[in-house]
Amino acid sequence: MSATTTHHQTPRSWIVLGAFLLVVIGVGALIGTQSIPGTWYESLTKPPFNPPNWIFGPVWFTLYVLIAISGWRMFMDNPTGTPMKLWYAQMALNWAWSPVWFVAQLIWPAFAIIVLLWLTIVGFILVTWKRDRLAASLFVPYLAWVSFASVLNLSIGLLN
């Protein structure tokens, strides 16, 4: 079964897309501004592949746009289906990671969160692939980034 695009072209659909973008980017930005790297993070030993801090904002903004569009597509298709349940779960895990890492300074619980996030992203891609390949594909860069972030989280944990 494949999602049709006709239900993505109604005025209501565009309002829903705006809401998805506003919530995903807005909450992500709010959490980002409240969970900025501080002296604790700066004092950690990091692996040589640790990117500069300035890269995270543009990457997350881009990913949040893709995540919102993907969630919107699945919401318009079936707002209570398994894909949306996985989408909500990954969003909650995504938003939980930064406060646990930067505010609570809990490396290993943050690692557990990011592993669950990774699994949820993979689950979302798998269950949406046949229904809406575009929605699933929009999560591929997100999966790549979270894979990298997981290795980075693990490496920092092991080095400290």
DSSP 71-105: HHHHHHH-TTSHHHHHHHHHHHHHHHHHIIIIIS-
In angstroms, the first-to-last Cα distance of the chain is 48
Q: Which tens digits make up the pLDDT trace of 101-159?
A: 999 999 999 999 999 999 999 999 999 999 999 999 999 999 999 999 999 999 999 99
pTM: 0.91
* All domains in the chain, ordered by first residue: 6-159 (1.20.1260.100)
